[in-house]
Structure 1
């Protein structure tokens, strides 16, 4: 007989508030994905296959434990995901200096007969933005901070970059990490301005993208991805585009916090960002769009910019342009 694979829990770094504890992730069979560096093309392709061809553990009872010993139970859905939220008094007292609340997730006793990786203790974090935050930053990932090729013909560069390049071989957009570090510090020089990364990539690539962000020293922040839909998926399609929905959730969660939105000219970032800024006056400080050097798309984005005046907006060819703009408007020192 074939030996059953061990179980694991893929925890996703998330966000909440002073009294709102939220946790999300996915219960899976452990595919032993190797996130080492300098992997061969074959091993990289095998890793991506393992991430996309995931075997979820549905209807699994899980225990969430805060650092003060407080415990909660939740259950995964038919695709292995869990999304938990509850009120916890004085939750902010458990946060570190940058606002991160650490907790663990584990399988309940009914699964102890199965082998479970990491001694059945999977750590995660939830962000509570500091009261001293000057603003928050919501950033796209593909072609905004990571060379992807979303605007390429039939998106062939997306496929090539994702399937055949390990995270350590992927190239960040020049100067963006330094720009984000400046925004994280803000004008007052405190590392408290929160970052949120939003992408249309599937949750299956969470570890891959997280490893890339860590390698290139981007500010820590929740990575908000979406479920991987197949042509045979019978679940209702979301009413709003994923990025728009996530940004609106952040605006609702932090009603007193203003945001800077960062994206690119390759997809619909300009449409979504300007629409949100117009519908929520006073909440968006600025919009930055990286030019992906696609003549037709650049012209379309320029038309949007020419008819928009609700907030400062910049179509930039380099991070240096963004730095100068942010300094001029007082977002950074």
Structure 2
């Protein structure tokens, strides 16, 4: 699918999303309806802006950059356009927003879900298709089922499982727009182990823009990370520039809202939060833990082993969290195989 849409003048992609039980229903939890979240982007490429941005960034970083990635950031969203959801038991349509994003929810009964449930994410998933009317343009979507019971690992991406070096503007640009994405050693192995051991679901929560999702999917597949939903922001040129977007406080609000969405829509599910010290993950996770101490099983924060100042910062931020509930790591080999020991 990636090669197919990256070279088209117009493109469409979907970001894996999530579904929760509809708790407003009067039926019991095992037969209640599901609320499914759909997310993606419908856009049109701008070749002139792509070339200008490519040459500008290459002057800054002094490296050749990947034009396919750059073109996603110079593309313009197709605002207020109809898209249709196909492949389920009924057709539904939605309309893109002012920047071309697809953001809608729809409800399916539990019986309908069971008809379309497929293996994936250890909770199952629903596959569907979104198409643009009167155009040969479509994309396949995945929605992962997150029921009231079970365990979910919610993981940051940049500098938690993928090396981005967000504390350096130049390195962020290079690691985003040049070469293959590089994994943090051992993270895919421990995630797959946890997925099997706990029959867990995974969700990836990141400050990265959703324009990067097609390339992140290549990274997830190549490194064999567990599949799961992805929760990202959308970059527009109102965000001033790419680096400002990465470092803006807006992502704190977005990450907090997404974590609350998971907690408020599942009654008894436990969560393990995994992030890094290089942005505000510790502050966000401490705030969430204060609200849901019995639902947050563990917190893991990536930092460098010789970062004593960072350790002191964490001791301060997590002062009200039992020391048995949080730990630091540098690579996946530092993480425990048994979360509850």
TM-score by length of 2: 0.78
Note if 1:126 corresponds to 2:138. Answer: no
CA change 1:269–1:180 in 2 (3 A) is same
Please name the residue that 1:202 is paired with: 209
Distance 2:221 2:147 in 1: 22
Conserved 8 A contact 1:287-1:311: no
Please name the residue that 1:215 is paired with: 222
For 1:129-178, what per-residue CA distance to the aligned partner results, in whole angstroms no more than 9, with x for missing partners? 367x63101000011001111234xx33212211222xxx2221111111
Distance 1:328 1:271 in 2: 21
Distance 1:136 1:288 in 2: 14
Conserved 8 A contact 1:17-1:92: no
How do 1:127-206 residues align onto structure 2 when only pairs under 5 Å count?
127-129=144-146, 134-152=150-168, 155-165=169-179, 169-187=180-198, 192-206=199-213
Conserved 8 A contact 2:153-2:273: yes
Q: Shift of residue 21 of structure 1?
A: 2.3
The secondary structure found in structure 1 opposite 2:12 is strand
Paired residue total: 295
Conserved 8 A contact 1:11-1:124: yes
Please name the residue that 1:297 is paired with: 310
Distance 2:36 2:202 in 1: 18
Please name the residue that 1:36 is paired with: none
Moved over 4 A (4+): 30-33, 237-240
Distance 1:179 1:31 in 2: 41
CA change 1:203–1:297 in 2 (3 A) is same
Note if 1:8 corresponds to 2:11. Answer: yes
Please name the residue that 1:95 is paired with: 117
The secondary structure found in structure 1 opposite 2:118 is coil
Note if 1:105 corresponds to 2:112. Answer: no
Query: Which of 85, 103, 108 is residue 105 of structure 2 equivalent to?
Result: 85
Conserved 8 A contact 2:233-2:251: no
Q: Shift of residue 74 of structure 1?
A: 0.5
Please name the residue that 1:23 is paired with: 38
For 1:209-245, what per-residue CA distance to the aligned partner results, in whole angstroms no more than 9, with x for missing partners? 1211111000001111102154567xxx969522111
Give the gaps of 5 or more residues in structure 1: 34-40
What is the RMSD computed on CA atoms of the aligned residues?
Answer: 2.7
Please name the residue that 1:38 is paired with: none
Conserved 8 A contact 1:259-1:283: yes
Give the gaps of 5 or more residues in structure 2: 1-7, 22-33, 51-62, 241-248
